[in-house]
Amino acid sequence: MIATVRIAPFEQWCEKARNYASYHPAMKSRAGQAVGIILESCRQNQSGCSAQREWRVPDDKAAEHFEQMGIPYNPAGKTWICESMLELD
């Protein structure tokens, strides 16, 4: 099942995401915008940031998500987003 959530304000992002955004400033403009996540994909965070969990962005939306953040997209990889970047209820 895919849920649509909003990207959290930049100030709430983990340190790793904020540092990454310094190289890709367009990431900050995504705050407040919607992004789809696959609910069943929730796992312990494996990216090394302080967030506990992360979710996969659907493959058909990942390229668009990366393009909007100004980050090169690698279609061979899976796109994960940590909970610090999401506004979860």
Residue 73: is its pLDDT beyond 90? Answer: no
Domain that holds residue 77: 2-87
Distance CA 71, CA 21 (A): 10
* Residue among 7, 3, 2, 4 nearest 81 (CA): 7
Give per-residue pLDDT as tens, 17-69.
Answer: 899 888 888 888 889 989 899 999 999 988 788 889 999 888 777 777 777 77
The answer to whether the CB of 30 falls within 8 A of the CB of 51 is no
| φ, ψ for residue 86, nearest 5 deg | -115, 145
pLDDT above 90: residue 5 = yes
Q: What does pTM read for this prediction? A: 0.81
Number of compact structural domains in the chain: 1
